[in-house]
Chains A and B, each alone.
Chain A
Amino acid sequence: MQIYLPIAELSVNVFLFLGMGAGVGFLSGLFGVGGGFLMTPLLIFAGIPPVVAVATEANQIVASSVSGALAHWRRGNVDIKMGVVLLIGGFIGSTIGVWVFTLLQGLGQIDLVIRLSYVVFLGIIGALMLVESLRAISRKRKPGGKRRKLHQHNWLHGLPFKMRFRSSKLYISALLPLGVGIFGGILAAIMGVGGGFVMVPAMIYLLGMPTAMVVGTSLFQIIFVTANVTFLQAWQNQTVDIFLALLLMTGGVIGAQLGTRAGAKLPGEQLRSMLALIVLGVCARLAYELLVRPDDLFSIGAAMGHG
């Protein structure tokens, strides 16, 4: 069954896009990432114009994050105080990000910068997570092994504006989550993602939050940052396709619910190594495209595009 997307201006198969939404939604619920870093490249591979893919994906992440965050909320896994500090950073960051995006677009290299940032960030984070989770798994298998320290103190703990985050059992400087939020916001605007794939590891390794809290709290923050991006894109560039968003949402919200349930049953370390492998897979695919000579060295585009 075909449906014509009025903003993307092409006709697509309904079931293909419902399936894509469900698959990515499942991973989103499972890992607490928005899923944008998988969905945006998938949409582009499926022929959706990149500007529409990025904007519509932000809209879809709003829906999947709401349903995901609600599920975590009911289990008490959202640290509101931490979420609000991250959110302030997120708004600052996405504003900076949009400004940088416009600058790079003027230079004609936004495509390359998007791809390069995917390769760099997915590569670093994927590798870190894989090593860390494999270590944790092997520690568990050797009983009597050295137990990890609860907190590793370094210069980050000497920063001012200390704040108590009761739900996460942390007493750290507010500058840390603010910085993480700003960084996530910049990436959200430039890469067309929720930013969860960067924030989740940053919250685990940098802030030292409990893994159970990280997922719900990042989803909570992502709702508002992607809502901001959706509105700005629809208002300024008219690139949000409601039809496409509804297809992805329908598949996505169902997938996210199932993913959240599956996540509650799976052990955290296995979960983390699985996410690491997916992240590395997407990274390798994008790196391959940058490094291997393309079939056609030439590409075409509208000279006066939508945005």
Chain B
Amino acid sequence: MVWMAKIIQANGRHLRRRLLLLITILALNSFAGFTAPVMAQAVVADLSDHLIAVTTGFAGTKLLLFGAIEGEAADVVVVVRGPGEEIVVRRKERLGGIWINRHKLVFGGVPAFYHLASTQPLEDIATDRILARHDIGLDHIRLQNPDGTNGELSEFRDALIRNKQRIGLYPKTNGQITLLGNRLFRSDIYFPSNVPTGTYNVTVYLMRNSKVISAQTTPLVVSKIGFGAETFAFAHSHSAIYGIIALALALFAGWFAGWVFKRS
């Protein structure tokens, strides 16, 4: 990169030269920082936004994930994982003619949200063993299993994923990643209106010959913002006052409607 500095020097414009030099140094520095573990450098990615603001008018949103890969052609897999939660799965049984909840299992560490996108179908990218090791794909989500027989566990686990898919928090089909000239990639990630709040992890895996050769994780925060968020906070911090306000509103609304209709 010394040639760059020389060209700039030849230019003779001091201010511009200094500025460019600074940029070059900064670029070199950050480059060096990234290259230190040689393997980890092969993929760089970012999101169009690192904060999803759930405002009063929120109706779901779309983020753009974009990035570039280094070196030979490879596949890219993107996994978005929501914060972990405890989920109880219940099974109905018929008793005396009616269907009632009889049996339940509680799973821990269940991602509140899960999204997956890849450049090719997963089975063409890596073996099940590799995918399982890196927790990629709905079949491989790592859960803290409760006690139970193997058959029972897998049945309840399938039911958990099926129910999450129904409410749109787990994907029914995997998303697409568009690869441009084997270097640049982009993918749209859709978040529905019922997206849970919390800190998410967006992980980009670079895979070649059925191996993960590089991975990068970016945080994403889903947070309530604005009047709705303040309402939620107030309802929890001053619940008694909140209750009185709710009552006052209802009494006023009822009285006001009565008054308006009496006049008309």
B252 to chain A, nearest CB (A): 8
Which of B4-12, B50-58, B177-185, B203-211 is the contact stretch? Answer: B50-58
Supposing A112-B100, A296-B162 touch, asked if A245 and B246 sit within 8 A by C-beta, the answer is yes
B90 engages A70 (CB within 8 Å): no
B87 engages A302 (CB within 8 Å): yes
Interface residues of A in 1-45 (CB under 8 A from B): 2-7, 9-11
A222 to chain B, nearest CB (A): 11
Across-interface contacts of A62 in B (CB, < 8 A): 247, 250-251, 254
Is there a chain A Cβ closer than 8 Å to B244's Cβ? Answer: yes
Across-interface contacts of B197 in A (CB, < 8 A): 9
B249 engages A242 (CB within 8 Å): yes
A168 to chain B, nearest CB (A): 23
B236 to chain A, nearest CB (A): 5
Across-interface contacts of B92 in A (CB, < 8 A): 294, 297-299
Interface residues of A in 44-94 (CB under 8 A from B): 47, 59-60, 62-68, 70-71, 74
Which of A129-137, A248-256, A273-281 is the contact stretch? Answer: A248-256
Chain A residues touching B, range: 35 or more
CA distance A304 to B101 in the complex (A): 18
A11 engages B60 (CB within 8 Å): yes
Across-interface contacts of B256 in A (CB, < 8 A): 253
CA distance A257 to B258 in the complex (A): 7
Across-interface contacts of B162 in A (CB, < 8 A): 296, 298
CA distance A2 to B58 in the complex (A): 7
CA distance A235 to B239 in the complex (A): 5
CA distance A68 to B258 in the complex (A): 8
The CB with the most chain B CB atoms within 10 A, among A7, A60, A63, is that of A63
A170 to chain B, nearest CB (A): 27
The CB with the most chain B CB atoms within 10 A, among A6, A108, A109, A235, is that of A6
CA distance A253 to B247 in the complex (A): 15
CA distance A293 to B97 in the complex (A): 10
Across-interface contacts of A71 in B (CB, < 8 A): 258, 261
B233 to chain A, nearest CB (A): 9
Supposing A59-B246, A230-B246, A300-B88 touch, asked if A4 and B228 sit within 8 A by C-beta, the answer is yes
Supposing A6-B229, A11-B60 touch, asked if A66 and B255 sit within 8 A by C-beta, the answer is yes
Identify which of A11, A238, A291 contacts B239 (C-beta below 8 A). Answer: A238
A–B complex contacts, Cβ < 8 Å, 20 sampled: A5-B228, A10-B194, A11-B193, A63-B257, A67-B258, A108-B104, A111-B101, A112-B100, A230-B246, A232-B243, A235-B243, A238-B242, A242-B235, A249-B253, A253-B254, A296-B162, A300-B87, A300-B90, A301-B90, A302-B85
Which B residues lie at the A interface, using CB under 8 A? Answer: 54-60, 85-94, 97-101, 104, 106, 156, 159-160, 162-164, 166, 193-194, 196-197, 224, 228-229, 231-232, 235-236, 239-240, 242-247, 249-251, 253-258, 261-262
